[in-house]
Every structure is written in C-alpha cells, then in structure tokens.
C-alpha cells in the first residue's frame, strides 16, 4: 500500500511485473486491496529472475503524490 493521508493510492492502479507471471499470480493482485490468503489468489508472483533479468514489480499511480508511507505484505500460506 502506498499511503498518503491514510489512503491507499496504489489500489486498483495499473501494475506490471516481470520477467513473467508465475501460476496466474498477476501483478494486479498486489493492488486489489485484499491482503488475505495467498492461495485465494490475492498475491502477485513473478517467475524467478536471474542476474541478467531480475524479477521486478511496479505500479503506475497515474499522477504525482507525496508518499507518506509504504506497506508491503508478504504472502501468507496459512489462510488466516
């Protein structure tokens, strides 16, 4: 989550990742606002990159913001 005055400015924005998507875990899933269980499809996942083509993820916010915080959620396999 990219946070400005408590709002998630990344939610539902255009996200991309590479070098490839792994197991249908598309980049838009990282900005859908749902941080629950990984196996429910709420996690972005790339194929493993290498030193010449490392894995990456980005989001286009569509405009300029002064960001006050960034929250990154790691995937949770337990399904809490």
Rounded to whole angstroms, the Cα distance separating 15 from 64 reads: 16
pLDDT of residue 48: 73
Rounded to whole angstroms, the Cα distance separating 26 from 42 reads: 9
Burial of 40 (0-12, 13-18, 19+ CB in 10 A): exposed
Instruction: Show the domains of the chain with their CATH numbers.
Output: 2-70 (2.60.120.260)
Residue 36 pLDDT greater than 80, yes or no = no
Nearest Cα residue to 76 out of 43, 31, 29 = 43
Nearest Cα residue to 56 out of 16, 23, 22, 26 = 16
Question: Which tens digit of pLDDT belongs to each residue from 37-77?
Answer: 666 667 787 777 667 778 888 999 999 988 888 888 776 65
pLDDT of residue 45: 77
pTM: 0.72
Rounded to whole angstroms, the Cα distance separating 4 from 72 reads: 15
């Amino acid at each position: 989550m990219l946070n400005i005055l408590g709002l998630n400015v990344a939610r539902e924005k255009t996200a991309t990742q590479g070098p490839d998507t792994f197991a249908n875990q598309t980049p838009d899933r990282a900005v859908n606002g749902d941080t629950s269980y990984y196996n429910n499809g709420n996690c972005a996942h790339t194929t493993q990159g290498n030193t010449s083509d490392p894995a990456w993820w980005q989001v286009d916010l569509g405009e300029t913001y002064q960001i006050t915080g960034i929250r990154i959620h790691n995937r949770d396999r337990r399904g809490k």
